[in-house]
Amino acid sequence: MIQRFDKLSIWKSNNQEVCKMIKRVLPAILALFLIAGILSASSASASQTSARTLRIGFPIQPGLTEIDEDGNYAGYTYEYLEEIAQYTGWDYEFVQLPGTLNESLSAMLEMLENGELDLMGGFIYNDALAEKYDYAGQSYGSAHTVFNVLSEDTHITKNNYLSLDSIRVAVIQGANTRIEEMKQFCAMNNLDYELVPCESSEEQMTALQENRADVILEVDLNIVPEQRTIAKFAPRPYYFATTVGNDDIVQQINSALLSIEEADPCFSTRLYETYFNPQEKSLVLSDSDREFIRQSGPLKVGVLLDNPPFQSQNTETGELTGISLKLLDNISKTTGLKFELVPVTSQEQLEEKILANEIDLVSSTAYDYLLARKQGIALTRPYASSQYIMVVNKDANLDSIKNQRFALPKQIEYEEFAFEQILWYDNLQDCLDAVHSGQADYTYGNGYSIQYYLNNPKYRYLRSIPQSSNPYQVSLGVVQTENTDLLSILNKVIGSLSEEDLQSIIYQNTIQPQEYTLSNLVESNPEAFILIIGGLALFIIGVLLWILHIRNRINRKNTMNLKKHYQLYELSNEHFFEYNYATGLFEAFFDQEMSPEELLNVTAYTYEDDLEEGKACGSKPQKPFLEIIASKGDGIRDIHCAVPDGSPQWLRITYRTIRDDGGKPAYLIGKITNIDQEKQEKAMLLDQARKDSLTQLFNAAACRSLISQRLSKLESDGHGALIILDVDYFKNINDLYGHFVGDKMLVETATAINSTFRKQDIVGRLGGDEFIIYMDGETGEETVRERCSMLCEKIGSINLPNASSRISVSIGVAIARCNQSFNALYQQADRALYQVKNRGRNGFEILGL
């Protein structure tokens, strides 16, 4: 592998003249630092006492402002605020409010306008907001409009979407600014488009999944795990804003933002990559990539030997191993590409094979454009990066490198200094041996190779010193051709590998296996060897003393165990029992007033039993303890029974059978635990999971399941009715009066529905303003019409806030028959609903009579 050393950048600060100058001025520098430290300490103390605390509006928005499960703050805006605090000395009080994101944002904006908050982030500039708030003069980020596709969609990629004849774009109606930005972008790129209007982001996603749209028009700050971005355009800056008149806050923020930009121009870019554009770790191959892999035969890979840990050959087995080869194996398993390894023994031989087109890839090469151009290869993204390491003997004196002996491998390209003595060796290991033996004073290498060799105890007297020069990076080399598919595929795979996967590959191949002998161990660790021998002698003495006292110790332990056993029975909230199969004796350690005989005869019921009336529904009462004894096995059993006070309780019986040497049951032991509260909590959680949080009606999933069960039980001469309804022009109510009033109307609608239908009818909310009711039993046509008319009348009496307007509903009804599925019945009711809407709404229609 070729790599280059720029010694001028590495050793510039090490020449002898500079060292002498530093020694002359060092006392003066130390004195200045001492005075500056005293002044800064007093200044810091004064500033700490006067630090200002700002109240920050902190709505929970993924990527911008977040709080993890441990209560730690995070997010793009949070990181910027903390960096600003380094320049302003501010402390922060982060304020969150209950409710949905829109509700909390609205409340916080009002608080900021009234001066109850000092600062908020994420403001897009417009004239209306500028009248209410003071904006910082410097933005701290930009939001982009983007095209997103499904993550698993391999048809449309970043590379080919501009070549399509036309593209179908799912857009939310009313997002006019975003749509205009999209139109300008398409016009600039001569891209024809077709708009697919949607009401919500959920409908956009459905349009993608149903192939009614190719891409979604989104904003990059909205993080959707199931989507990936193929195009980004129309950046819009966003700002911090404060209450009108807070000029000092605005000035300090502007100054801090300029300082951050000056100190680290890439600060905002790194934060954006962290929170809004994390490195894609799921491999997505395009259709053209897959076609290339399908048609590609085995690719020949040039492997330069004797370059551990990247690649080397086992001298005994001939096996090729190393970081680069493990990476190629991973690529092969992931993509299906096949590789044929071609070992070469020198850099010259490798370059000859590249020129003769005898290989397609180079397994590892330095990430250096000049070297790559010289060799005629294209570089993939680096898959490994490390510092350069200088290695010296522990006794070496390198106050100056002048006249020092520098060991280098022959394949290294090196910018030579006239005053250095360079000693050339065949490989890095020979260089290390030269430094170890004193033939050379120092050598250099990348961190992975140096660490590989220094793991060997023979190099224990060598010392490694990390260097501050540019890092050494390694990549795969692709022999340059007009077809770039292979380079693209390799980059995608390398980009998809997690840091954990790469580090695992590196770790497994950097640790050099060592052959340890007793003499090597003693030589490498004499102090440890002496401690081991002494410790072994003390251990043997201790074992002998332990054997002398073991019988007394066992006796004392057994006695204590018996005491603990009986104390455990007294203190535990669980109750224990024991049955002797030989004698038939049943014993119970029970703190309630229940004898063992009563416990044996306790009656258990099924979960549908009515214990208060003492009746069992559908099955005879059981005597679980007698059944458990007769089973002669192990297990856990939950029973519903009446405890001594007569109340029904859930009990859990855990039991084990102890057998003698012949395998026959000797004892049955077990414990009884009261799990009634656990069962009640489980039932409560199940009920909550089935209910809609706003209306407390059944949610969509519960309705579907319950109605499907009813339909499956419908007899041949039976019938039912499925009713679906939605509130007319509900979106206008939300737009005109706000979501709070809209939610109130939904709750009142739910109340009207509940009061109209019977307790045994299934009533639920499908989502938004859509409700569903299922009736069976006595559900003749007249009954259904009566209920629908009554419901229309009740809902029509619900007033909107202006008291002059009322709401109305459109109702679709489908009559259910035997062997009819939920989907078929729902579609029939949906057709009836749309007939009502087409007639002008505010009414009902019944189909299937």
pLDDT in tens, 144-169: 999 999 988 888 888 788 888 899 99
Q: Give ∠ CA 182-735-134 in degrees, rounded to 5.
A: 70
Residue 536, in any domain of the structure? no
676 shares a domain with 695: no
702 shares a domain with 622: no
- Most confident residue range from 344-358, 631-645, 765-779, 822-836: 822-836
Average pLDDT estimate for 366-378:
88
Least confident of 62-76, 77-91, 388-402, 694-708: 388-402
Q: CA-to-CA distance for 771 and 17, rounded, in angstroms?
A: 87
Residue 63, in any domain of the structure? no
- Write down which residue in 655, 681, 707 finishes a domain: 681
Average pLDDT of the chain, as a whole number: 83
Q: CA-to-CA distance for 213 and 204, rounded, in angstroms?
A: 8
Cis omega (within 30 of 0) for bond into 309: yes
832 shares a domain with 796: yes
Least confident of 24-28, 100-104, 488-492: 24-28
772 shares a domain with 733: yes
CATH code for the domain in which residue 661 is found: 3.30.450.20
Residue 597, in any domain of the structure? yes
The answer to whether residue 418 scores a pLDDT higher than 90 is no
Helix then strand then coil, % of the chain, to nearest 5: 45, 25, 30
725 shares a domain with 677: no
pLDDT for position 298 = 93
Assess contact for 775 and 723: CB atoms under 8 A: yes
Assess contact for 314 and 376: CB atoms under 8 A: no
CATH code for the domain in which residue 771 is found: 3.30.70.270
pLDDT for position 88 = 93
Residue 664, in any domain of the structure? yes
Least confident of 258-267, 317-326, 499-508, 657-666: 499-508
Nearest to 363 by CA among 328, 404, 392: 328
CATH code for the domain in which residue 500 is found: 3.40.190.10
Average pLDDT estimate for 391-396:
81
706 shares a domain with 584: no
- Write down which residue in 681, 710, 726 finishes a domain: 681
Structural domain count, the chain:
3
Sign of the alpha-carbon torsion through 624, 629, 633, 634: positive
729 shares a domain with 659: no
Other Cβ atoms less than 10 A from the Cβ of 239: the count is 22
Average pLDDT estimate for 201-209:
92
Q: What's the domain range around 649?
A: 572-681
pLDDT for position 39 = 43
Task: Tell me which residues are annotated as active site.
Answer: 769
pLDDT for position 505 = 84
Least confident of 521-530, 536-545, 658-667, 780-789: 521-530
823 shares a domain with 702: yes
Pair of tokens at residue 81: 């605020």
Average pLDDT estimate for 54-80:
92
CA distances from 843 to 239, 374, 727, 809, 811 (A): 50, 80, 11, 7, 6
Residue 420, in any domain of the structure? no
Other Cβ atoms less than 10 A from the Cβ of 1: the count is 23
815 shares a domain with 736: yes
Residue 398, in any domain of the structure? no
504 shares a domain with 376: yes
Helix or strand or coil: residue 788?
A: helix
* Percentage with pLDDT > 70 across the chain: 83
Q: Give ∠ CA 202-203-207 in degrees, rounded to 5.
A: 120
Residue 564, in any domain of the structure? no
Least confident of 455-464, 591-600, 615-624, 740-749: 615-624
Assess contact for 582 and 666: CB atoms under 8 A: yes
741 shares a domain with 647: no
Helix or strand or coil: residue 199?
A: coil
Residue 751, in any domain of the structure? yes
Amino acid sitting at position 544? L
Pair of tokens at residue 76: 């793009």
* Percentage with pLDDT > 90 across the chain: 37
320 shares a domain with 296: yes
Q: How confident is the model at residue 524 (pLDDT cuts 50, 70, 90)?
A: low
Least confident of 655-664, 675-684, 747-756: 675-684
Least confident of 96-100, 646-650, 839-843: 646-650
Q: CA-to-CA distance for 447 and 430, rounded, in angstroms?
A: 17
Residues contacting residue 677 through CB under 8 Å, at least 6 positions apart:
none
Question: What DSSP element (H or E) covers 511?
Answer: none
- Write down which residue in 510, 534, 559 finishes a domain: 510
Q: How confident is the model at residue 413 (pLDDT cuts 50, 70, 90)?
A: low
